[in-house]
Amino acid sequence: MAPLSFPLSSLLKLKDCAQKANIFCNVLQGLHHRPGKSYAASVCSSSSDGQDMTDRLWSVYNETKKQTEDLLPVISTNSVNPNTIFANNEMSLRDIEIYGFDYDYTLAFYSRHLHTLIFDIARDILITNLRYPEGLRNYEYIPDFAVRGLHYDVQKALLMKIDAFHYIQLGTVYRGLHPVPDEEVIAMYEGSHVPLEIMSDFYGKSSHGHTMKQFMDIFSLPEMTLLSCVNDFFMRHNIDYEPVHLYKDVKEAIRDVHVKGIMYRAVEADIEKFICYGEQSHAVLKKLSEHGKKMFLITNSPFDFVDRGMHYIVGKDWMDLFDVVIVQADKPGFFNDRRKPFRRVTDKGALLWDRIHKLEKGKIYKQGNLYEFLRLTGWRGSKVLYFGDHIYSDLADLTLKHGWRTGAIIPELRKEIKIMNTEEYMHMMAWLQALTGLIEQMQVHRDPASQAVVNEWIREREAMRSQTKDIFNGQFGSLFRTYHNPTYFSRRLSRFADIYMASISCLLNYDFQHTFFPRRTPLQHESPFWPEHSPAGISVSSQLHRTNSD
């Protein structure tokens, strides 16, 4: 069922829930936005006695907690559908005539067996080809160790999560497989801020003086884990090593797994073990074809690998669905380098030497560049929507330089939304927000008794923030947030993707007239709700001030 095709009764129920939720949100926002002195003073103005002040602060605390708990049943009804397409920028499907796709983790979704395969092969390359210690064979891939979007300090051999403002999330810095104490992190970086000049470059790479590498694609999970495991081995055995050499060696080993075709051959030999969700991708392509949409494929993978996978996902006639197929495109260079011409490839893999004057359906092309692609197809601007999983290599240049619409495929969304829909998480976040509002308001009382109470609240808040991190991933937390702030990954996602979703199958829930609207989330200086959305007759301040008259 399409997400917006609710029956009238459901809409009325949703309206009732929304009104009740607005009451709760107004409570939270009121705590944050009410001028500090006026409200805080009204709570405690009648007494200067320390014990009386403490009692009044705890009375407000208990009243706020009770209000939060009373509205938890309403909050719990506001779950998020993981099959939703989320919008960063308004976009209508009625404007889209051409759909483009990456292959890996866009049309083809892989099981965790693939990450184990990549880790094992790269680890063995280090041992066999680069004479790394044999003891590394005792390390196996750890599926839930790392998350996408982390930064790696090449010179310090530290893996960490950084927020949208370039601040390290303390508690998420790892050397090897073990966390680095916050005090040590602050000493190394003279605080927790990472200056722009040492951050990763535009594509997340550590080059031209940048000492940070950002791991943005799903294939990078085995690489991060292998880096951490080798670092762990060297530290456990007190082996002196150069972190830069280690990073480059692991990078080259992972590259060999792909470039030398080792991974491709292994997947082709046991395709059912490694590829999943095939029927959903097929359904999307079939729906687009039936509605007369043009489609193209641009992937960095070789044709034999793509052909084998698409045979499994779609069938032997899969190329009939696509107007253009480009393999080994060398993205992101494909979007910037004008020098590489297209080259025809036969279905047997032979390269042809003739000049390409047009891109024909049913034929396979290798390399090339986007400027030539635009010239030969005329597919320009916002009538084109391209889907990919790598925010930099797939989407950034298309958004910034060419005006295509972009869709990010974020498989991790399903797991994170499932967690966010749990009562435990909803309850925790509701109280965390309310408690933060209390701290913000009551911090103005500087007497020792009041400060002791507020400091106790702050300790409770810090403990809850750690819990909200660990509930997603024990080491690094959510892909999308560092406590309250968006992650650096989230910032790039919101900038370079018009829409994002857990899988391409989410398109099946929408017709081709659908318009995606981003939420108008209030800026910090704006009122939390517009007048037409505010519940009538609710006085938040009167509820919060009741303790003064009791």
Peptide bond before 3: cis, by omega within 30 degrees of 0? no
Q: Known binder of ligand: residue 249?
A: no
Cα(491)–Cα(119) distance, rounded to whole angstroms?
29
Per residue in 288-339, pLDDT (tens digit) is: 999 999 999 999 999 999 999 999 999 999 999 999 999 999 999 999 888 8
Q: What pLDDT is attached to residue 502? A: 96
* Annotated catalytic residue 104: yes
Strand order in the sheet with 364-367: 86-87, 499-501, 405-409, 384-388, 98-101, 294-298, 324-327, 364-367, 342-345
pLDDT > 70: what percent of the chain?
Answer: 85
Q: What pLDDT is attached to residue 293? A: 97
165 phi, psi to nearest 5 deg:
-105, 15
- Among 52, 95, 104, 249, the active-site one is 104
Q: Known binder of ligand: residue 49?
A: no
Per residue in 331-370, pLDDT (tens digit) is: 999 998 888 999 999 888 889 999 999 999 999 999 999 9
* Annotated catalytic residue 102: yes
Cα(138)–Cα(145) distance, rounded to whole angstroms?
17
* 515 within 8 A of 91, measured Cβ to Cβ: yes
Sequence-ordered list of residues with C-beta below 8 angstroms from that of 286, at least 6 positions apart, any chain: 321
Burial class (CB in 10 A: 0-12, 13-18, 19+), 2: exposed
Q: Known binder of ligand: residue 389?
A: yes
Cα(419)–Cα(413) distance, rounded to whole angstroms?
10
* 166 within 8 A of 195, measured Cβ to Cβ: yes
pTM attached to this predicted model:
0.87
Cα(340)–Cα(324) distance, rounded to whole angstroms?
17
| Regions of the chain with pLDDT less than 50 | 1-15, 17-18, 20, 36-37, 46-47, 530-550
Q: What pLDDT is attached to residue 540? A: 35
> Three-class SS of residue 391?
helix
Dihedral over Cα of 154, 159, 165, 170: its sign: negative
Distance of CA 465 to CAs 144, 421, 432, 435, 472, Å? 20, 17, 8, 11, 12
- Among 16, 70, 102, 447, the active-site one is 102
